[in-house]
Chain A
Amino acid sequence: MKKVIALLMVLAMVFAIAACSAKPAANKDFKVGVVLVGDENEGYTYSHIEGIKEAIAELGLTEEANVIWKYSIPESELCYDACVDCIEQGCKVVFTNSYGHQTYAQQVAEEYPDIQVCAMTGDTARASGLKNFHNAFTNIYEARYVAGVVAGLKLQQLIDEGKVADKNKDGDNIKIGYVGAFPYAEVVSGYTAFYLGLKSIVPNVVMDVQYTNSWFDITGEKEAALALIDRGCIIIGQHADSTGAPKACEDMLNAGTTVYSVGYNVDMLAVAPTAALTSPTNLWSKFYSYAIGEVMKGGNFDTNWAKGYEADAVKITPLGASCAPGTQEKVDEVIAAIKGGSLHVFDTSTFTVGGAPVTSAFATDTDGDWTNDADEAVFDGYFHESYFQSAPAFSLRIDGITELN
């Protein structure tokens, strides 16, 4: 009986503590809704969660008082329900983080004109004509270009040391590989940027691209990387979310094959301490703090937001120990050039399509047939990526790159 009483007293105390511990927040009424396709266990969503957390801390908000999280929301009407639920709980701005959420987010934006709705990585905000519907992306291609430079310096070192074997060559050209998720513009834009960055250091390279048709497939990415290594590729880049490709490179490197890896999103040094050079990565917090900050002030934010190094919205992860000497200096120089506007990633003087320089390319697909048909993006000597809309638009297949599947 004593125990029961003791337990009851403990419970009573807990009630009392719980009642007292509610602390006042500065902006208690301002709420942000965050609708996520996964949870913190999944890399892509994790980077968004971190972005939101950093942004609200910067703005003096707290998670408890100001953020309503919706985890593991599928790309179905449940996304609409989640957004509306956020709004009913007082959210002034709602973010959805997956591409497939977009159609439901747009539905919500139409019905709640006073609420700002943003479909991250989406591409229909501009065409929708809604003032309160937004898309946002980072200029990750800039970081991919820089990662390409890192890989190029490594390749130059390998050439100088005589470690490039005949099987790594196709005629006079050295072979590199790339593991891509899907043949979408987002991936095409990314691998082209990577290739051009590498080519700016080592001009005689050709690249093979192997698609996995999945954003996250450890085994598939590993297999794709092994197939590319088997073809003689000496550097493996990637646009897919797992650690499969860097792990494959690490294993092959340890087994005596010369091959190095450039990852994506997260630092790959944990799985590939010698093979990993760096990974381009997004810093979503820059966008989130801008967008949330504007709404807090009672304003609105850009319909399409896409920024890279100029806003510190992208970066490459710390360089691996295998990187060539002098890499950091070169990286800083390239980043400064990108920031200063003297270097454009898709400079039309650096690549050709079908043997001829590119003088015209459209950026927007208005009829959904996978072919861009509006918005001339080539002017002032370069392709203006993410200029008309935040989503990547560069989908030219340039010379020197072969898609294997």
Chain B
Amino acid sequence: MHISKRTNISTGKAWLIRAIAILGALIVCAFVIFAIVKMNPIKVYISMFNGAFGTNKRIWVTVRDLMILTCIAIGLAPAFKMRFWNIGAEGQMLMGGIATAFFMINFAGKMPLPILFICMIVTSIVVGAIWGLIPGFFKAQWNTNETLFTLMMNYIAIQFTSYAVSKWENPPGSNSVGIINRSGATKNAGWIGNMFSKGYNVDYAWLVLITLVLAVAVYYYLTYTKQGYEIAVVGDSENTARYAGIRVKNVYMRTMAISGALCALAGFLAVTAVSHTISTDTAGGRGFTAIIVAWLAKMNPFVMILISALITFLNKGAIQIASDFGLNEYVSQIITGIILFFILGSEFFINYEVHFAKSHKE
């Protein structure tokens, strides 16, 4: 048996391999479910599906979570395309969320709504850009390790968030900010609410629209602009980039500022369009999940939507299984893990060809 790199593979064949991988994962999971919990795997799969799409509300919640995840992954795309391991999305997102919540809490009712929104968006973008620029600057100037740097920035941002929560907690002593502008004179001020309906968190059509716009914009930026091309060249080979006259340091800093700003925008959306509150759960580990999304999608924003959908579906399904069958969530996470393992593994068969030789004579 030997393995060779595929030079090219048709899109159809690649998707066929992925489909086989998912099918394989479901079969393996079926055995695992049966072996561990002695349950009918089909019932478990139906329950998973119900968890994600069982009711109108669940469909919207699934769509909402997948859109936020996509947003973060879109934010990561420029940095990752440059082979800059930005694992600081969590922190960049939180900083954007804090900036947004700051204006919602302190300036609702004190300035006209459009200006309030402009303040929220601009400050979150600026704060996120700075949060991304700091590790970018250090990488450009002193070649510091960006993985550790961005990771550490996350912890600072998380502590910042805890500080902000304790400052703004409502009611006092709850250690939580509660729903911002829930009622009273400033009701729903600074909310991107429902497009079609009234009330709290009924539909998320605006969020979908904004995410799609962002996806198109970032796709265009990375594929058709000069800066996008520079990012690709720096990512492939820093020396080639330098030889071609690209100012690598500038590209590092500029791209990280953009990446941070986009992640902060995801934080802005998470606060204003989804939770209407701020807490350390606003990011809730999604900044890390988004890395898998961006990577599996090969930095293509449209594929990211698909991957996010799959991961969100698995996540919702896992929670539902736990609730329906009285399992704790760890069993369902095993299932999620197996499926992700197969999907990641399928990339190997897309990139490489395996030849079986029955009897190979020297």
Contact = CB atoms under 8 A, between A and B. Distances in A.
Interface of A: 11, 14-15, 18, 39-40, 63-64, 68-72, 74-78, 80-81, 84-85, 88-89, 99-100, 102-104, 107, 111, 123-124, 182, 184, 368-370
B282 A76 contact: yes
The winner among A100, A102, A124 for most chain B CB atoms within 10 A is A100
Contact of A370 (B43, B172, B284): B172
With a 10 A CB-CB cut-off, give which of A74, A78, A81, A370 has the most chain B CB atoms: A81
B167 interface: no
Given A18-B39, A77-B277, A111-B199, A39 B328 contact: yes
B275 A368 contact: no
Given A11-B34, A75-B281, A76-B279, 10 more contacts: A15-B40, A15-B42, A71-B323, A75-B174, A76-B275, A77-B275, A103-B170, A103-B176, A103-B179, A368-B170
A18 B176 contact: no
A225 B89 CA distance: 40
Interface string B142-164: 00000000000000000000000
11 contacts: A11-B34, A14-B40, A68-B323, A71-B323, A74-B279, A75-B175, A81-B57, A88-B55, A103-B174, A107-B200, A370-B173
B201 A18 contact: no
Interface of B: 34, 38-40, 42-43, 55, 57-58, 61, 170-176, 178-179, 182, 199-201, 274-277, 279, 281-282, 284, 322-323, 326, 328-329
A89 B57 CA distance: 11
Contacts of A182: 173
Nearest to B55: A88
Contacts of A68: 323
B328 A81 contact: no
Contacts of B322: 71
A111 B172 contact: no
A245 B81 CA distance: 52
Contacts of B171: 103, 123-124, 368
A124 B282 CA distance: 24
A75 B281 CA distance: 8
Nearest to B279: A76
A272 B179 CA distance: 43
A403 to B, nearest CB: 16
A107 B181 CA distance: 12
Nearest to B274: A77
B281 A76 contact: yes
B276 A77 contact: yes
A18 B276 CA distance: 43
A104 B279 contact: no
Contacts of A89: 55
Nearest to A77: B275
A20 to B, nearest CB: 12
Contacts of B38: 14
B170 A107 contact: no
B323 A70 contact: yes
A370 B275 CA distance: 27
Contacts of A369: 172
A75 B284 CA distance: 12
A361 B275 CA distance: 38
Nearest to A104: B179
Contacts of B174: 75, 99-100, 102-103
Contacts of A70: 323
B281 A74 contact: yes
B40 A75 contact: no
A274 B57 CA distance: 54
A370 B170 CA distance: 12
Contact of A71 (B173, B175, B201, B329): B329
A124 B172 CA distance: 12
Contacts of B172: 368-370
A78 B39 CA distance: 28
Contacts of B201: 77, 80-81
Given A70-B323, A100-B174, A107-B200, A18 B275 contact: no
Contact of A85 (B57, B199, B274): B57
Q: Nearest 3 CB-CB pairs, A to B?
A: A103-B178, A77-B275, A100-B176
A360 B173 CA distance: 24
Contacts of A88: 55, 57-58
Nearest to B183: A110
Contacts of B173: 99, 182, 184, 370
